[in-house]
Amino acid sequence: MVKDIDIVLRPEEMNDGRALRRIASKKLSISSSDVSHVTVLRRSIDARRRDIKINERVRVYAGEDPVPEHPFVFPSVHSSPSAVVAGAGPAGLFAALTLIENGIRPIILERGKDVHSRRIDTAALSRDGKLNPESNYAFGEGGAGAYSDGKLYTRSLKRGDAGKILRLLVQHGADESILYDSHPHIGSDRLPKIIENIRNTIISSGGEVRFSSRVTGLMRKGDEVTGAVLESGEEISGPVILATGHSAKDVYSFLADNGFSIEAKSTAVGVRLEQPQALIDSIQYHSEKRSPFLPPASYSFKVQVGGRGVYSFCMCPGGSVVPASTEEGLLVINGMSPASRRGRWANSGMITEIRKEEIAGDDPFRVLRYIESIERSSFIPGFIAPAERMTDFCYDRPSGTLPDSTYRPGLSASRLDDILPPVVVSSLRQGFLAFSDMTRGRFLTEEGTVIACETRTSSPIRILRDGSMRQGRGLYPAGEGAGYAGGIVSAAIDGTEAALCLRRDLNG
Ligand SMILES: Cc1cc2nc3c(=O)[nH]c(=O)nc-3n(C[C@H](O)[C@H](O)[C@H](O)COP(=O)(O)OP(=O)(O)OC[C@H]3O[C@@H](n4cnc5c(N)ncnc54)[C@H](O)[C@@H]3O)c2cc1C
């Protein structure tokens, strides 16, 4: 017998195989010894009440064993037709895997370094405030996803096969729990090895991965894109999947200069809020101390302020705040957390919508310039970040001192009203007060630090596509930088879909 059932567990029963068998067999009115295997299909934590429950959908096997999942097979493409993939972020890497599955040889061109060498540059930025503009938290193998939090939650389920992306990540080393957790998460400490494994699959199948290979232009024959040009002048032939992310401003410039269609895109900007993880645990789990059986708590807030959405974004329990700049003179921050999420601090982006219609003109670069002006005002040499206590920010008064922070380049007590646009300040203030009301006043805390600025939440530019995934013949803009995805899984789905479109075009 094989049967899928819903069960409810106590936190301490969550990872206890014996308890799982006992509860499942009771529900099916069979003996526990008849249960040969229980597989978790879905898990979520219901923390709405003090009595926290774990809801699971499980598949129970009695007298039978699960059929093992077959791994995805990647055929040899050593002598197959080639396609160029610009960018080795989630969109580019999953595009490359899909090309291989479909008998096409990917040549990945990545401006940054391999995922391990990159770490030396991100460490130098955090420790010494020294930025390598080609190797940082945005640029290099794995893209912005490499040292990210690795949260794999996506809303873009309708656009592609998110389940396949997760199964491919497991095949390359991610923990199986990402297949059933309602909020799957890998962790910034585990992602680099998974990315290296994906690279090895690509290379052993016959694909090519070239680092320090910045694409500076596209080759064209008439209307058709026939390849990519590298900074060195070398030309690499083939249709091009352009998956260069939202920080590759040079790519937007060469597209605009050469008559490709791009347009301004609405986005969201704000700050990162850092608070003690123990506070978030106690708010979300309704007790002074988190049960050792429960993971560090996260949150998701959203409110409308004067017709404008204010919301939390990319919340990192037990994580740290990092400098995610790609240029000297512009500061942008982000957050990440390791797999254990055991750090003392929780951080989250707190952002508000900025619609492209609010920025005067019709220049496709206008939202990008708006973002740059905030990043310029936020910049302090050494990538020190301006910050205010959460309470001082909300009550419009200067901060004499700041709480401890995980942001390694350091914080400088500043008035964020002087740095952020007034509409952003007032929306965030009202948003924080509303979030505090939702938590009986507990969310607004002296121990919270508001750090500027979080601006690269999505692309400020869209690279237009026709009804399908291409712009003209031979060019397939994909991922976050093209303006069609946001986050690791949705970028990976978009890269996959671009590769499938390219395959259809090649097959005529
Ligand atoms: C610190 C941090 C934490 C994050 N946490 C999460 C999270 O937990 N969950 C989540 O879903 N998302 C998270 N994100 C966002 C997520 O990483 C991005 O949405 C995702 O990586 C976008 O994928 P992409 O492939 O479209 O672009 P990117 O990841 O930006 O990759 C683009 C790649 O193109 C390369 N490139 C750029 N220009 C060129 C060029 N001219 N020539 C060759 N190569 C080029 C870049 O070096 C880069 O490797 C986080 C981002 C950051 C910075």
Residues with Cβ < 8 Å from 402, sequence gap 6 or more? 387, 388, 389, 411, 413, 449
Asked whether residue 67 is assigned to any structural domain, the reply reads no
Q: Is the pLDDT of residue 461 over 70?
A: yes
Which one of 108, 480, 489, 490 would you pick to mutate in the ligand 1 pocket, going by the greatest count of ligand atoms within 8 A of its CB? 480
Asked whether residue 71 is assigned to any structural domain, the reply reads no
Say which CATH number the domain at 46 has.
3.30.70.2700
Asked whether residue 74 is assigned to any structural domain, the reply reads no
228 and 86 together in one domain: yes
Asked whether residue 364 is assigned to any structural domain, the reply reads yes
349 and 438 together in one domain: yes
366 and 305 together in one domain: yes
Query: Percent of the chain, pLDDT > 70?
Result: 99
Q: Is the pLDDT of residue 154 over 90?
A: no
Residue owning the nearest CA to atom 11 of ligand 1: 487
Which one of 454, 471, 491 terminates a domain?
454
Q: Which of ligand 1's atoms lies nearest the C-alpha of 149?
A: 8
298 and 403 together in one domain: yes
Angle, helix 90-101 to helix 191-204, in steps of 10 degrees = 30
Which of 331, 333, 327 lies closest to 132, judged by CA? 327
What pLDDT shows up at residue 455?
A: 97
- Provide the residue range defining the domain that includes 350: 267-454
215 and 273 together in one domain: no
Say which CATH number the domain at 486 has.
3.50.50.60
Tell me what the mean pLDDT of segment 495-503 comes to: 97
Which of 43, 442, 451, 54 lies closest to 280, judged by CA? 442
254 and 376 together in one domain: no
pLDDT band of 29, cuts 50, 70, 90:
very high
214 and 360 together in one domain: no
Residue owning the nearest CA to atom 47 of ligand 1: 139
Q: What is the pLDDT of residues 34-62, one digit of tens each?
A: 999 999 999 999 999 999 999 999 999 99
Tell me what the mean pLDDT of segment 121-143 comes to: 97
Angle, helix 162-171 to helix 488-506, in steps of 10 degrees = 100
User: What's the number of domains the chain is made of?
Assistant: 3
Residue owning the nearest CA to atom 53 of ligand 1: 144
Asked whether residue 412 is assigned to any structural domain, the reply reads yes
Which residues are near ligand 1 (CB < 6 Å)? 86-92, 109-112, 137-140, 143-145, 147-151, 214-215, 243-245, 248, 250-251, 314, 322, 324, 334, 336, 479-481, 485-488, 491
246 and 292 together in one domain: no
Q: Which of ligand 1's atoms lies nearest the C-alpha of 137?
A: 53
384 and 335 together in one domain: yes
Residue type (1 letter), 169? L
The rounded Cα 491 to chain-centroid distance in angstroms is: 9
pLDDT band of 158, cuts 50, 70, 90:
low
CA of 223 to the centre of ligand 1 (A): 29
What pLDDT shows up at residue 314?
A: 94
Q: Which residue has the higher pLDDT, 160 or 125?
A: 125
Structure tokens of 162?
């998110």
